[in-house]
Structure 1
Amino acid sequence: MATIKDVAKLADVSVATVSRVINKSPKASEAAITAVTQAMQALGYRPNANARALVSQSTNTIGVLVGDVSDPFFGAMIKSIDNIARQHGKHLLIGNGYHNADSEREVIELLINNRCDTLIIHSKSLSNAELIAFAKEVPGMVLINRFIAEIADRCIALDNHRGSYLATELLIKNGHQHIGYICSNHDIEDTAQRKQGYLDALHAHNLTAPQSYIEYGSPDEDGGELAMTNLLAKAIPVTAIAAYNDYMAAGCLSVLEGNGLTVPNQMSLIGFDDGLIAKYLHPKLTTVRYPIQIMAEQATQLAFQLATAAKQPTPVEALDSTITHTFVPTLVKRLSVTELH
């Protein structure tokens, strides 16, 4: 295997010159760049990425922490991050946290140890204090779908409470007063915020929901099926269901159809996220749009700006003021909600 010394000998330059060419130093002449590049190609030499990182204190890699890469929600998020990363000549290093504090911590430390100076972090289990500490260590770290007041300028978040409030209010405006809620059993802030949005919308319209109107399950189709089955078993007079997300709503729909209840004629149903599945259910699912693509793009742009600013020897201009830090969800009306007669 060829070494940097072999490249220097073939190109008839010093090892230091080869190093300057590899690290894109402005001190490298055009002649040196041409000679070294040709020598590297002739020898099949590939620069050691770790060695280059030691010199530059960074890599061409942007680190990303997600909950579970197999979840389509995170797939959409990663694709948007990758689109921006490629514009900056970067590639992604991705780790799964599975909404577990130990796993999230291990991934972040791995990304930092791999000299990723730009990080997009979707963490739901680590404490605010620990994330603040990581943010101090990595100036180019941005949180997505998480808001921490102390580092608010490094957070891109969604108003989950508002989204759930809108979903429940839509059902109320269609005449429904007995509204069930299918809730995630994950102990994360999204769960609490969306459940509270449902309760607050009911309260604002002088309605109440007994605890028996709320059922829990894993935030996927199976969890939705289990929660809906348990809700039906109680024989309570609900005429509409608000679900934590579209996948739980899909599970609800399956159980309702299996029990001879048609949506929306006998039961209105609304989801959350506006994932790809929402458009292909039957009936098409009314839901709340979670603009994860644009949020991920802005998080990546912000992370690059922060990382660049940290490297400047002199003060830089203010960060892009067009970046939105808190997004507001919107209703997507389709065919699974109807007026109660």
Structure 2
Amino acid sequence: MATIKDVAKEAGVSIATASRVINNAPHTSDAAIVAVKEAMAKLGYRPNATARALVNKSSNAIGVLVNDVSAPFFGTMVKAIDTIANEQGKQLLIGSGYHDAVKERNAINMLLDSQCESLVVHSKGMTDAELTSLADDIPGLVVINRVVPNMASRCIALDNRKGSYIATEHLIRNGHRHIGYLCSNHDIEDAHDRREGYLDALRDNSIEIREEYIEYGEPDETGGEQAIVNLLAKNTPVTAIATYNDYMAAGCMTLLQENGINIPEHMSVIGFDDGHIARYIYPRLTTIRYPIQVMANEAVKLSLQLVAGQEMERSECKLFMPILVRRASVGSNPK
């Protein structure tokens, strides 16, 4: 039996567009109407009640796309959105995309099939063009933690490059000039921007860039542990480590201390995100605060405003600024 996905694929349009044609919704192009109706006839598609409800009545669900719902960062993000959803009498539906374009598309399609008009999307796999096309079809779609130029007014993001710059500069101001960097091995914008922020700070302070000071790993405790093992094996003279996130920092710190390298007396370490782990590892982690709760609140409120047809107050991306959180894991250069 044909589904709305089959119709959309046959017609060469998005699922949202196919749904609008099936339900006789306004603001649909003549070309899309012809293509979808021809596809329906060819496939013998019969619209069901769920598909009709997507356009014909108000949804009671907010859809959220995350990378991995089990990751603490995304748990915090979902909790913030769920708080707003409860205040509005709505339910939350969650899909995981794992930074993979196909999985992200499938998750978004699932959320649309479940009647979600309001969507908060954390996407690293889909292209800017795909997200822009989706935004054209889905008025309530908002992107978080990414800037898509052609739909910038519907984007909520953090200046990751600036955050990494601030972290590295803090180490430099404490007298460190041999600074290692533990970078995520994921091919995503966040990893690239944070690495570039580290390099920018070195350049601006006339510190030689040494590729051997950079190691890559999974952005978790295990990845941080393995990355610092690889860095120490090179016998480099680093006195401080900047990291992609707090979890890599935690893995790094554990390995250092197990090998008699005290923090911050022998090695300074700085994280990024200011997640819960930063407050409870020892010594407490100096890091960069990522205000994901505030950003998630902004994203879902904007999405709900768009669904309600309210005008946006801005035409550009809402870019949040990272903040340095000083704790106990950074000290002065011991040399």
Q: TM-score range by the shorter chain?
A: 0.7 to 0.9
Cα 1:138–1:239, aligned 2, differ >3 Å: closer, same or farther?
Answer: same
Who wins on radius of gyration, i.e. which is larger?
1
- What's the CA shift string for 1:304-332, capped at 9, x where partnerless? 011111xxxxxx5x3246x9810000000
SS at 1:285 equivalent: coil
2:320 matches 1:336: no
Following superposition, the deviation at residue 56 of structure 1 comes to 3.5
* Alignment partners' CA distance in 2, 1:153 and 1:202: 33
Following superposition, the deviation at residue 261 of structure 1 comes to 0.3
Following superposition, the deviation at residue 95 of structure 1 comes to 0.6
* Other-structure match for 1:195: 195
* Alignment partners' CA distance in 1, 2:58 and 2:161: 38
Following superposition, the deviation at residue 187 of structure 1 comes to 0.4
SS at 2:308 equivalent: helix
* Other-structure match for 1:244: 244
Which ranges of 4 or more aligned residues in structure 1 deviate by more than 4 Å? none
* Alignment partners' CA distance in 1, 2:109 and 2:241: 41
Taking only aligned residues, the RMSD between alpha carbons, in angstroms, comes to: 1.8
* Alignment partners' CA distance in 2, 1:97 and 1:117: 19
* Alignment partners' CA distance in 2, 1:49 and 1:289: 45
Matched to 2:320, the amino acid is F
- What's the CA shift string for 1:224-262, capped at 9, x where partnerless? 000000000000000000000000000000110121100
Following superposition, the deviation at residue 66 of structure 1 comes to 0.3
* Alignment partners' CA distance in 2, 1:221 and 1:269: 14
The answer to whether the 8 A contact 2:54-2:116 is kept is no
Matched to 2:256, the amino acid is L
* Other-structure match for 1:167: 167
Following superposition, the deviation at residue 86 of structure 1 comes to 1.4
SS at 2:264 equivalent: coil
* Alignment partners' CA distance in 1, 2:211 and 2:55: 59
* Alignment partners' CA distance in 2, 1:293 and 1:84: 11
* Alignment partners' CA distance in 2, 1:259 and 1:94: 41
Matched to 2:91, the amino acid is H
* Alignment partners' CA distance in 1, 2:67 and 2:154: 19
Cα 1:55–1:292, aligned 2, differ >3 Å: closer, same or farther?
Answer: closer
* Alignment partners' CA distance in 2, 1:54 and 1:122: 22
* Alignment partners' CA distance in 1, 2:208 and 2:280: 33
Following superposition, the deviation at residue 122 of structure 1 comes to 0.2
* Other-structure match for 1:150: 150
Following superposition, the deviation at residue 57 of structure 1 comes to 3.5
Following superposition, the deviation at residue 302 of structure 1 comes to 0.3
* Other-structure match for 1:20: none
* Alignment partners' CA distance in 1, 2:49 and 2:205: 60
The answer to whether the 8 A contact 2:246-2:278 is kept is yes
Matched to 1:327, the amino acid is F
The answer to whether the 8 A contact 2:51-2:113 is kept is no
The answer to whether the 8 A contact 1:57-1:115 is kept is no
Report which stretch shifted further, 280-289 or 112-121.
112-121
**Normalising by the residue count of structure 2, what TM-score does the alignment of the two structures yield?**
0.83
* Other-structure match for 1:112: 112
* Alignment partners' CA distance in 2, 1:58 and 1:221: 43
Residues 52-71 of structure 1 correspond to what in structure 2 (within 5 A)? 53=53, 56-71=56-71
The answer to whether the 8 A contact 2:153-2:317 is kept is no
Residues 20-35 of structure 1 correspond to what in structure 2 (within 5 A)? none
* Alignment partners' CA distance in 1, 2:317 and 2:101: 27
* Alignment partners' CA distance in 2, 1:335 and 1:49: 58
Matched to 1:259, the amino acid is N
Matched to 1:84, the amino acid is I
What is the aligned length? 287
* Other-structure match for 1:28: none
Cα 1:49–1:247, aligned 2, differ >3 Å: closer, same or farther?
Answer: farther
The answer to whether the 8 A contact 1:243-1:272 is kept is yes
SS at 2:94 equivalent: strand
The answer to whether the 8 A contact 1:178-1:209 is kept is no
- What's the CA shift string for 1:176-195, capped at 9, x where partnerless? 00000000000000000000
Matched to 2:319, the amino acid is T
* Alignment partners' CA distance in 1, 2:121 and 2:270: 29
* Alignment partners' CA distance in 2, 1:57 and 1:218: 43
Residues 292-311 of structure 1 correspond to what in structure 2 (within 5 A)? 292-309=292-309
* Other-structure match for 1:221: 221
SS at 2:282 equivalent: coil
* Alignment partners' CA distance in 2, 1:333 and 1:49: 55
* Alignment partners' CA distance in 1, 2:212 and 2:51: 60
* Other-structure match for 2:283: 283
Cα 1:200–1:299, aligned 2, differ >3 Å: closer, same or farther?
Answer: same
Q: Which consecutive residues of structure 1, in runs of 5 or more, have no partner in the other structure?
A: 1-47, 310-315
SS at 1:228 equivalent: helix
Matched to 1:133, the amino acid is S
- What's the CA shift string for 1:126-179, capped at 9, x where partnerless? 110111111111010000001011100000000000000000000000000000
